């Protein structure tokens, strides 16, 4: 379940000053295991300075284009793994990679007739690029409107690829770049360079309203995909909701969270029964420890990646008992009602806890 496979790095490309894309060869025998839906991510594992570190990176390649698996990694200030990948990874390196996972994906089918609104900011372009390319190549009747926010023109990730897609599919793909700190001296909200026009500003309420009004629905069946920093996600979601877009049409991927200071400790020595890989594990949960950490410390290998309540790799179903989730950026209210929990964030609120990993 949380098995890692060694994949060889076969290409590295510096995409911007502070990001690279990395391509992995997938041996024929692993093809099925590494099949994916556009929008999903890989989990990479490194041991750095004696510590095992796992991080998720969304696939920016498309499953309908033959070729290697590709991720895009942007440096995070003082970030351990993103800087290690940007500084040290070389062609030929073998990296431990967990098969694709994640619930942020588009159900793309040849016969679909939809309008897609794509909202991306910074490194949030990675899953959006995969969805975009797959829709354009597969759904000939669908339209895509995309807004992509960055600081400056130079920090736009995959710009050449995006511009090529726009050129090729210009009849059904509209792309708007928006820059919060444009290089040029801009006085107006709008201004064009000789070659291309950019919007000035962030993806905020005003930008989202403008975008939706400027590019009305083509097909009534519309879906909205958002990936970027927390504030951009929140603003975009709220604005769409205020414009009467139903929640079940809005799909969100978050890359990280500011850790909340949640001091609730839960019940001491709750009895945990976990069903994982056809095994039944019984263990006591020490005060303040999460279900995931308890299992790891007991020598079990449950699936996990971010350990921050963001990616949902650690998803399981609560069959019995009550838990408190310290942080949750991955599950919606419906899923919580159905009993799903993030084991990396869950501490017990009852003496008996039964969970099942799917």
Ligand X SMILES: Cc1cc2nc3c(=O)[nH]c(=O)nc-3n(C[C@H](O)[C@H](O)[C@H](O)COP(=O)(O)OP(=O)(O)OC[C@H]3O[C@@H](n4cnc5c(N)ncnc54)[C@H](O)[C@@H]3O)c2cc1C
In the complex, the residues that contact ligand X under the rule CB under 6 A are: 41, 55-58, 71-74, 76, 78-83, 102, 123, 126, 253, 255-256, 306, 310-311
Closest separation in Å from C-beta 104 to ligand X: 7
Q: Pick from 176, 307, 321, 325: which binds ligand FES (CB under 6 A)? A: 307
The yes or no reply on residue 179 touching ligand FES (CB under 6 A) is no
If binding means CB under 6 A, how many residues of this protein chain bind ligand FES?
13
Given 69, 136, 311, 353, the residue binding ligand FES (CB under 6 A)? 311
Choose the contact partner of 307 out of ligand X, ligand FES, none; CB within 5 to 8 A by kind.
ligand FES
* Residue 118 Cβ vs ligand FES, minimum distance, rounded to whole Å: 24
Q: Please select the residue that binds ligand FES; options are 26, 179, 276, 314, rule is CB under 6 A.
A: 314
Residues 315-354 that bind ligand FES (CB under 6 A): 330, 342, 344
How far apart are CB 152 and ligand FES at their closest, in Å?
Answer: 31
In contact, 69 and 43? CB cutoff 8 Å: no
Q: Which of 306, 341, 353, 355 binds ligand FES (CB under 6 A)?
A: 306
Query: Which of ligand FES, ligand X, none lies near 152, with the C-beta cut-off 5 to 8 A by kind?
Result: none
Q: At what angle do helices 230-242 and 205-214 cross, to 10 degrees?
A: 50
Q: How far is the CB of 16 from ligand FES (least distance, A)?
A: 26
Pairing of strands 143-150, 115-121: parallel
78: left (phi over 0), alpha (psi -120 to 50) or beta: left
Please report how close the Cβ of residue 55 comes to ligand X at its closest, in angstroms: 4
Strand partners, 41: 58, 101
CA angle 347, 250, 125 (to 5 degrees): 90
Query: Where do contacts with ligand FES occur on this chain (CB under 6 A)?
Result: 304-307, 309-314, 330, 342, 344
């Amino acid at each position: 379940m949380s098995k890692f496979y060694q994949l060889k790095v076969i290409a590295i490309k510096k995409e911007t000053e502070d990001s690279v894309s990395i391509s992995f060869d997938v041996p024929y025998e692993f093809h099925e295991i590494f099949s994916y839906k556009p929008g999903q991510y890989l989990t990479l594992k490194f041991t750095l300075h004696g510590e095992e570190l796992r991080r998720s990176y969304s696939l920016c390649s498309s499953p309908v284009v033959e070729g290697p698996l590709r991720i895009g990694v942007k440096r995070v200030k003082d970030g351990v793994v993103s800087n290690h990948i940007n500084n040290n990874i070389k062609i030929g390196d073998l990296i431990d990679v967990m098969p694709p996972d994640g619930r942020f994906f588009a159900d793309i089918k040849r016969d679909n007739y939809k309008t897609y609104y794509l909202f991306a900011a910074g490194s949030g372009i990675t899953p959006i690029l995969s969805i975009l390319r797959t829709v354009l190549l597969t759904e000939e009747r669908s339209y895509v409107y995309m807004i992509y926010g960055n600081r400056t023109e130079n920090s736009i990730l995959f710009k050449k690829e995006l511009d090529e897609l726009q050129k090729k599919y210009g009849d059904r793909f509209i792309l708007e770049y928006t820059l919060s700190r444009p290089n040029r001296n801009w006085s107006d909200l709008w201004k064009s360079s000789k070659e291309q026009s950019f919007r000035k500003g962030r993806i905020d309420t005003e930008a989202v309203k403008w975008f939706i009004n400027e590019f009305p629905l083509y097909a009534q069946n519309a879906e909205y995909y958002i990936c970027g920093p927390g504030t951009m996600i929140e603003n975009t979601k709220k604005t769409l909701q205020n414009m009467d877009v139903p929640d079940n049409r809005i799909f969100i991927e978050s890359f990280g969270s500011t850790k909340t200071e949640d001091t609730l400790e839960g019940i001491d020595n709750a009895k945990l029964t976990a069903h994982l890989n056809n095994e039944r594990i019984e263990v006591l949960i020490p005060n303040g420890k999460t279900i995931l950490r308890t299992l790891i410390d007991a020598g079990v290998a449950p699936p996990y990646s971010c350990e921050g309540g963001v990616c949902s790799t650690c998803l399981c179903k609560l069959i019995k008992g009550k838990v408190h989730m310290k942080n949750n950026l991955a599950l919606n209210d419906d899923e919580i009602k159905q009993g799903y929990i993030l084991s990396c964030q869950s501490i017990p609120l009852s003496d008996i806890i039964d969970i099942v990993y799917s």
